[in-house]
């Protein structure tokens, strides 16, 4: 597996996002299947694992801790705080964005226990809580660095101005944001700001939440699948977006790779500081994703991909109104 720098850490060019094993795309897989995916990734050379307190309200961190902690020295561990499950009046956990320093520190302590580790290598603020100055949230993360609880700090779904404010408080190691052929928002300003400060850019949803793997049966999405609320998968928008697939699939065939590999390879070719973290519940899909590291794209293919799928050709916003209000990323 090719290697890239994630701040002070040298990691596999392609990491594993650990959300899918318990969260967001329908019913969680069995614990046995989660174990197979996590250990299969490690065996395949993945050394960058990314989880969060939010995923399954702690379930993902628990699984990562249970199955990967015996191999802790072999990989770089990333997790996130600032968005987690909190019991409501009925005792049911609901998602809450809370960037207060005391919450960040408490979440970290809980994460360390679930992950069965003494230190988290890279700890992100999952969402900027707009009720709390970014300086206060990053200050709390800085306290955790000094306490030896975490090694480095990351931010997720932030704009360039917010990143600059955070960087003034403590060096930021990585910014994590959705980035793929069909989500180009980072190209507005954040990618340039990351390069300016030498910050790694971690790209989640690199295969466009499955869209770039081939036609999806959107009507069969599980009731709890988060794509049901995403405008790009709404029937009218999805019908329009589907017209982009034949040309895209033809390019994958021309290059001699799978559609998923083409999507991830495009990201790898966009810059040495870009690290994709596809997620999956399938060992076959995992092997497919990792094969992208061996795909070479020339300038002509890159240009054609850029022209074919971009913010002008894709129909629909990436989040609904609520989701859009919760992030701080620039929009076209």
Distance CA 6, CA 57 (A): 26
> Of 193, 154, 138, which is closest to residue 185 (Cα–Cα)?
193
DSSP notation for 20-80:
TTTSSBSSPPPHHHHHHHHHHHHHTT--EEE--STGGGGHHHHHHHHHHGGGGGGSEEEEE
- Does 14 have pLDDT greater than 90? yes
- Does 249 have pLDDT greater than 90? yes
76 and 49 Cβ atoms separated by less than 8 Å: yes
Annotated active-site residue in 25, 55, 124, 179: 55
123: annotated active-site residue:
no
| Coil, strand or helix at 278 | coil
**Which whole number is the average pLDDT over 104-122?**
98
How high is the pLDDT of residue 24?
87
CATH 3.20.20.100 for domain 3-326? yes
Residue range 51-64, pLDDT digits in tens:
999 999 999 999 99
Report strand pairing: 93-97 vs 83-87: antiparallel
- Does 232 have pLDDT greater than 90? yes
The alpha carbon torsion through 28, 266, 3, 176 (nearest 10 deg) reads -60
How high is the pLDDT of residue 26?
85
How high is the pLDDT of residue 296?
98
How high is the pLDDT of residue 328?
98
Sequence ranges of the domains in the chain: 3-326
How high is the pLDDT of residue 81?
98
> Of 35, 93, 40, which is closest to residue 62 (Cα–Cα)?
35
Could you tell me how far CA 61 lies from the centroid of its own chain? 15
How high is the pLDDT of residue 153?
99
> Of 234, 240, 285, which is closest to residue 263 (Cα–Cα)?
285
- Does 27 have pLDDT greater than 90? no
pLDDT-derived band at 238, boundaries 50, 70, 90: very high
Residue 48: both structure tokens together: 């960058």
129 and 159 Cβ atoms separated by less than 8 Å: no
């Amino acid at each position: 597996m090719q290697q890239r720098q994630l701040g002070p850490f040298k990691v596999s060019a392609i990491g594993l996002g650990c959300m899918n094993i318990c969260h967001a795309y329908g019913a969680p897989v069995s614990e046995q299947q989660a174990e197979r995916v996590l250990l299969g990734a490690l065996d395949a050379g993945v050394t960058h694992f990314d989880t969060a307190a939010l995923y399954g309200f702690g379930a993902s961190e628990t699984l990562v801790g249970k199955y990967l902690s015996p191999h802790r020295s072999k990989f770089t561990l990333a997790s996130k705080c600032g968005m987690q499950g909190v019991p409501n009046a009925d005792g049911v956990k609901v998602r809450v964005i809370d960037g207060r320093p005391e919450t960040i520190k408490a979440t970290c302590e809980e994460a360390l226990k679930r992950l069965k580790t003494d230190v988290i290598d890279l700890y992100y603020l999952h969402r900027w809580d707009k009720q709390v100055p970014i300086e206060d949230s990053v200050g709390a993360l800085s306290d955790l660095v000094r306490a030896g609880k975490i090694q480095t700090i990351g931010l997720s779904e932030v704009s360039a101005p917010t990143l600059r404010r955070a960087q003034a408080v403590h060096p930021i190691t990585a910014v994590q944001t959705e980035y793929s052929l069909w989500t180009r928002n980072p190209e507005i300003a954040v990618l340039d700001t990351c390069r300016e400060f030498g910050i790694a850019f971690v790209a989640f949803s690199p295969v466009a939440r499955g869209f770039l793997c081939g036609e999806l049966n959107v009507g069969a999405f599980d009731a709890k699948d988060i794509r049901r609320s995403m405008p790009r998968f709404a029937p009218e928008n999805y019908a329009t977006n589907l017209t982009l697939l034949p040309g895209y699939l033809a390019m994958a065939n021309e290059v001699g790779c799978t559609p998923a590999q083409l999507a991830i390879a495009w990201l790898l070719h966009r810059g040495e500081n870009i690290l994709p973290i596809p997620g999956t519940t399938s060992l076959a899909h995992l092997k497919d994703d990792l094969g992208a590291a061996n795909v070479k794209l020339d300038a002509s293919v890159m240009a054609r991909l850029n022209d074919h799928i971009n913010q002008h050709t894709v129909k629909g916003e990436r989040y609904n109104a609520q989701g859009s209000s919760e992030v701080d990323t620039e929009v076209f």
